[in-house]
Amino acid sequence: MRNWQPFEWIVASRFLREGRWQTVFIIGGVAIGVAVIVFMSALLTGLQANFIRRVLTAQSHIQLLPPQQTARPLRGGQPGLVEDAIVQAPLQRLKSIDQWQAIAAQIRAMPEVLVVSPSATGSALVVRGEASRATSVVGIEPQLYFRIVTLPDKMVRGGTRLNAGDILIGVDLASDLGLGVGDKLRVTAASGADSVFTVSGIFDLGNKGANQRTTYMALHGAQSLLGLQGGISSLDVTVADIYAAEDVAQRITARTGVEADSWIKTNAQFFSAVQAQITANTAIRFFVGLSVAFGIASVLFVSVVQKSREIGILRAMGVTRGRVLRLFLLQGGLLGLAGSAVGSSIGAVALLLWRRLALGPDGLPLVPVTLEAVLFVAALLLATVTGLLAAVAPALRAARLDPVVAIRG
């Protein structure tokens, strides 16, 4: 005994089998479109994630800074008094964020915030023998800061030990001064204070300028060297949603009164490029989906014309317009589903080949891509829904055919 099948399924599958070459070509067209969507989406997502990772692994999502010093006239304006004075901006000196411990506690209480790390940053001169280099000293609390900047992953020699007399330097600074792990280095701040530190580790941030200019030491050591006893020059913050960093920064400023700059604001051009990539990816998916929809619709319109006599006979036998409508909608959905299944497989193979063949000089993929199940499920749903929507117009035309006219041809 044959299994029971709905009427629409039996007729739809028969129509598709009878026009097998049309069916094969439209499934192939849908498959190519879905493969393009899958491949380009994964590639652009990987490219975007790679860019963001390179930018944000060396900086925080939000940074709080002390207010800028401003100048103002000593005398207020008086009626009838004309002052001819030029007010110049004062020289900016290193200062601490007022009551930073209370501000840090306020920020940590926000649900969007993951890490708050204090740091004391200032300019200094590192000297070894007769050689010297201008650098930026960054005093940190390692257990907090390393959750923002993964410095342990960037070490090439030594470790990340930061006791009172330790300092971490970049590979280019170490090369310029001939330094190795365990060597001594004199650091002189702009105020004239100086101290001798031991190089406990050498890192590579992937940027020659940063490797030449950046040094890390313990927070208390930097505070003493820079004259910020008990104070800090910035609070570094990371948030759960990196794209919401600007909104969180504005709420932090409104709540604490301290200037907060997000990575979106400080990297405005880079963020614009990321947004342009997202827009381009969306446009590609839209136009590919549109071409798939037109392809399915054109085939089904041809099928309605070719099968008009059969449709008329079915209508004369008592088949309702609703069943005819569902019959062609089912064909559109089946074409979309079959094409998306084949296209997803082609896209997956293309991504695997990309990961294996598109390699950089270091042997790593040029753009790291991941095969996420959600991408393939979304492609299946998108193509199936596109097939259903594309079938609406030809299905309505088939349902409205007059049986007598259709049978007469």
pLDDT of residue 111: 92
Determine the average pLDDT of the residues in 366-379. 79
- Mean pLDDT across 124-152: 90
Percent of the chain with pLDDT over 70: 85
Range picked from 80-94, 100-114, 297-311 for highest mean pLDDT:
100-114
Q: Is the pLDDT of residue 229 over 60?
A: yes
Structure confidence at residue 386 as a pLDDT band (50, 70, 90)? confident
Q: 33 falls in which pLDDT band (50, 70, 90)?
A: confident
pLDDT higher than threshold 90 for residue 156? yes
Q: Residue 329's pLDDT is what?
A: 81
Nearest to 12 by CA among 384, 346, 324, 258: 324
Burial class (CB in 10 A: 0-12, 13-18, 19+), 377: exposed
Residue 91: which pLDDT band, with cuts at 50, 70 and 90?
very low
Do 199 and 174 form a contact (C-beta atoms < 8 A)?
yes
28 or 273, which is more confident: 28
Q: What are the residue ranges spanned by the domains of the chain?
A: 7-55+271-408, 100-257
Give the lowest-confidence range in 85-99, 113-127, 324-338: 85-99
Check pLDDT > 60 for residue 299.
Answer: yes
Average pLDDT over residues 208-217: 90
Residue of 131, 148, 152 whose CA lies nearest to 200: 152
Bridge partners of 121? Answer: 138
Average pLDDT of the segment spanning 393-401: 75
Give the total residue count for the chain.
Answer: 409
Question: Residue 90: which pLDDT band, with cuts at 50, 70 and 90?
Answer: very low
What is the pLDDT at residue 78? 56
Residue 396 has pLDDT above 90, yes or no: no
DSSP 244: G
Residue 164 pLDDT exceeds 90? no
332 vs 305, more confident: 332
Angle, CA of 232, 233 and 236, to the nearest 5°: 90
Cα–Cα distance for residue pair 367/126, rounded to 1 Å: 38
Q: Retrieve residue 70's tokens.
A: 């401003």
The better pLDDT of the pair 4, 15 is held by: 15
For 271, phi then psi, to 5°, come to -65, -40
The yes-or-no verdict on residue 166 having pLDDT over 90 is: yes
CA distance 221 to 223: 5
The mean pLDDT value of the chain amounts to 81
Q: Give strand pairing partners of 122.
A: 137
CA–CA distances in Å: residue 340 to residues 16, 210, 286, 343, 375: 17, 47, 15, 5, 12
Q: Which of 49-63, 241-255, 269-283, 357-371 has the highest mean pLDDT?
A: 241-255
In three-state form (DSSP H/G/I as H, E/B as E, the rest C), the secondary structure along 377-393 is: HHHHHHHHHHHHHHCHH
Report whether pLDDT(217) > 90. Answer: yes
Percent residues over pLDDT 90 in the chain:
21
Q: Can you tell me the mean pLDDT for 96-113?
A: 89
The confidence band for 4, taking pLDDT boundaries of 50, 70 and 90, is very low
* pTM tops 0.85: no
